[in-house]
Amino acid sequence: HLQHIEEVLSRFQSSGLKLNLPKCHFAQDHVVFLGHVVSQHGIRPDPSVKEWPIPRTPTEVQAFLGLCSYYRKFIKNFAHCTVPLHQLTKKNVPFVWTPACHEAFCYLQDVLSQAPVVKFPDFTNFFLYTDASCTAIGIILAQVQDNLECAIVYASHVLTKAERKWSTYDRELWAIVWAVWHFRHYLYKQPFTTVTDHKPRLKKIPIDNDRTGHHTRWALELDPYDWVVVHRESQNHLNADALSHRPSEITITTEQPHAPNHSSTDIPDSADNTSPTVLREWKTVASRRPLHWHMKGKDPALKKLWQEYHRLTLKDGLPYCKVYHKASKEPIYQVIVPHKLVDQVLWFLHGSAASGHMAAKKALQRAHQLCYWPFMSRDIHAWCEKLEELQYQDHKHLYKPFQKVAADILELPITSCNNCYVLVVQDYFTKYVNLFALPDQRTMTVAKYLFENYIREHGIPESLHTDQGCQFESDVVKHLCQLLGIRKTRTNPYHPQSDGMVERFNRTLIDQLSKTLLEHSGEWDDYLNQVALAYNTSTHSSTGFTPFFLTHGRDARLSADVMFRCMSEVPRSTPGTPADYAAMLVKKVWSAFTTAALNTHQARLQQKEAYDRHVNHHPYEKGDLVWLHDPTTTRMKLTPHWKGPFEILDCLGATGDETEPEAKAQVVHYNRLR
């Protein structure tokens, strides 16, 4: 002790300093200095804090918190402990001393009076324990003395708003940089070991792709120090982890150090927010970017978003992906589309009436201006290829109402109103049928009902499919179709299966009219509209919906609904405005269209499979000689039903072949040949 006193006094003398003798104490086992009890064992806070009275005003609470903050280097998890007391110091908050406040006050008194003693450093080998969470970093400077590791000092730092947006790697690296700077008076020119629970090696700081310059500046900051990095598993890293993982954002200190200028480099608020599609997966890590090994076994779309994490942002509550225009270099904010809405967005990008049927490249360019989802390019190309088979040029797969309608004429007994024909017009997609009683089947009569009555109710269809009857193949009908932009198609002659939907409905119509006339008096044209209504409001086996619903977006209100006061057509939360109702209707109808298209396609496959079981298709080649079946001779018992032979001029596919009867080419169905 005397040697230490002599050395200290010699240094004071060499520096020209003088001491006030009445204020000096010698041969003491401990002294109280600036609120700290200093002894040969180390430093601990003054236990007199135990005698602090209970605060009764916000000012007294602030004074007590200031005292506790002075000793915060002795207290683990300090910010979390003081949350109830800090609530009393806020403006416009009534001063109510709650049990939580009293518990926090007593806890701080006890922990300060029994705080652990921090040792004096011997400036040999230090251990720097660091840990970073989403809100704070915690540091412990420790040392091994007498074969026992002991703490030299504690420290913690609440991350700023910009710092919280950094990746896990950057936050863990920043914890080391901040700790080294904070304890630089201990660590400068002294070898030390940094202990962290972050698995990636932090010693070699990557500066090749350093867009913000953080890594370069931090590497220069750490370069003068002699340090190594040691990894320790999280379950064994509880000392520093307790200081960093705390739910409070409050920073209380009277020794707040000034960090290096680069510590608070601002990052835009949109730097690293997560999208709703992956927020559930990232809640476990408090909305921070997961480590790459956390992505093992995850959904490929989630992994793709993880790779694009640095481009994700949040604007007005919506997730966006920030990219830049190739030519103008202007930023483009692409809204992130959830997986369940991808099909709907694809429909609006390529397939709806407003978007048209552009090439996949143009659809992708349009998408880049509006939205983003993982594997967007792949999905758009696949969608466009799929839609090529569905769009109306092929007419194999239908996906919207009145894309293709079929018309046929059915002959029935003449009535008192001189009606003896029924014009049947049915939509291929919705199966909605319209029936018109006709006095004759002349061209002008059929054209009047078809182009005036039907189009006035439903609008102009894209395609009209009929048989080869003269009333449908007339110049009048062809000219009207050309003026209105209707694509006119026709069936093969003497092959009603080419328009099987209408032929099947004709059988249903005859059956329903027969049953109705057996039960009720009258004529068939009196019940034509009732049969049509019954058919349109019944669930169709192919689509799974009623034709009325697919056409109008709602179910029809029938007499049974009136009798039982059915209110199913009015939802409980009725939209308040026409715009709200329109939005609800679009969503409901689009879902129904998608389901109906899938159901119809599945039903078509089943029907084809059942039909193909009884069909023996012999492929013909150009130049083959074949016999042609003539159904007009079936009533002539002695007349041959097969004519020919004829030569095959061309094969048009599975539906028809072109023959040459009597030097005139004719397209016939292959099942009329042998």
Output the domain CATH number for residue 55.
3.30.70.270
Q: Is the pLDDT of residue 186 over 60?
A: yes
200 and 289 in a single domain? The answer is no
User: Which residues, in sequence order, are CB contacts of 34 under 8 Å at separation 6+?
Assistant: none
| 246 vs 16 pLDDT, higher one | 16
**What is the crossing angle of helices 360-368 and 342-349, to 10°?**
110
Chosen domain end from 203, 234, 265: 234
User: Domain check: are 438 and 537 in the same one?
Assistant: yes
Residues 184 and 204 reside in one and the same domain = yes
Per the DSSP assignment, residues forming a β-bridge with 146 are none
C-alpha pair distances (Å), 514 with each of 204, 539, 663: 89, 21, 46
Say how many C-beta atoms besides its own lie within 10 A of residue 92's C-beta: 4
pLDDT at 76: 62
Place of tokens 């169709």: 540
- Looking at the fold, whether 12 and 149 belong to one and the same domain comes out as no
Contact 174, 137 (CB under 8 A): yes
pTM of the predicted model, to two decimals?
A: 0.37
Answer yes or no: are the C-beta atoms of 347 and 587 closer than 8 Å: no
Domain CATH number, residue 523:
3.30.420.10
Residues for the chain: how many in total? 674
Considering the domain boundaries, does residue 534 fall inside one?
yes
Residues with Cβ within 8 Å of residue 187, at least 6 apart in sequence: 126, 128, 180, 225, 227
Tell me, yes or no, whether 354 and 409 share the same domain.
no
Domain CATH number, residue 297: 1.10.340
Query: Any idea what the Cα angle at residue 294 is, between residues 231 and 304, rounded to 5°?
Result: 130
Which backbone phi and psi does 443 adopt, to 5 degrees?
-60, -45
Please provide the average confidence, as pLDDT, over all residues in the chain.
73
Same structural domain, 218 and 284 = no
**Residue at a domain's end among 234, 267, 302:** 234
Residues 376 and 480 occupy one common structural domain? no
Same domain, 12 and 54: no
Q: Using one digit for the tens of pLDDT, what is the confidence trace for 296-340?
A: 566 677 777 777 777 788 777 678 888 887 777 778 888 888 877
Helical H segments across 82-187, by residue range: 83-87, 99-113, 168-182, 184-187
- At residue 542, what is the residue type? S
Q: Quote the domain boundaries for residue 648.
A: 624-672
- Count of domains for the chain: 6
258 domain-assigned = no
Rounded to 5°, the CA angle 448-454-455 comes to 95
Q: Closest by alpha carbon to 430, among 550, 595, 604, 553? A: 550
In terms of domains, do 79 and 129 share one?
no
Six token digits for residue 276: 């709703």
The residue ranking higher by pLDDT, 50 or 459, is 459
Contact 402, 458 (CB under 8 A): yes
Q: Is residue 357 part of a domain?
A: yes
CATH code for the domain of 221 = 3.10.20.370
Out of 112-116, 246-250, 520-524, least confident range: 246-250
Find the mean pLDDT for residues 341-364: 67
Together in a domain, 226 and 164: yes
> Would you say residue 263 has pLDDT above 60?
no
CB 465 within 8 A of CB 404: yes
| Range 636-649 average pLDDT | 68
Same domain, 547 and 447: yes
Residue 157 falls inside a structural domain: yes
Is 251 within the bounds of a domain? no
Q: Is 132 strand, coil or helix?
A: strand
Task: Please report, as a single letter, which amino acid is at residue 563.
Answer: M
Band (pLDDT 50/70/90 cuts) for residue 423 is very high
In a domain, 261, yes or no: no
At 247 the pLDDT is 33
Residue 360 dihedral angles phi and psi, to the nearest 5°: -60, -35
566, 583, 609 — which closes off a domain?
566
Q: Give the highest mean pLDDT range of 359-368, 418-427, 517-526.
A: 418-427
Q: Give the span between the Cα atoms of 632 and 183, in whole angstroms.
A: 106
**Cα 448 to Cα 425: distance, rounded to the nearest angstrom:** 13
State residue 217 phi and psi, 5-degree precision: -65, -40
Instruction: Rounding to the nearest 10 degrees, give the CA dihedral for residues 529, 530, 536, 538.
Output: -170
Nearest C-alpha neighbor of 649 from the set 669, 623, 617: 623
Residue at 42 is within a domain: yes
Q: CB atoms < 10 A from the CB of 488, how many?
A: 15
Asked whether residue 339 is assigned to any structural domain, the reply reads yes
pLDDT band at 436 (very low <50, low <70, confident <90, very high): very high
Instruction: Point out the least confidently predicted range of 73-77, 167-171, 441-445, 666-670.
Output: 73-77
414 and 561 belong to one structural domain? yes
User: What confidence tier does 220 reach under pLDDT thresholds 50, 70, 90?
Assistant: confident
pLDDT given for residue 439 in this prediction:
92
Give the pLDDT confidence score for residue 195 in this predicted structure: 86
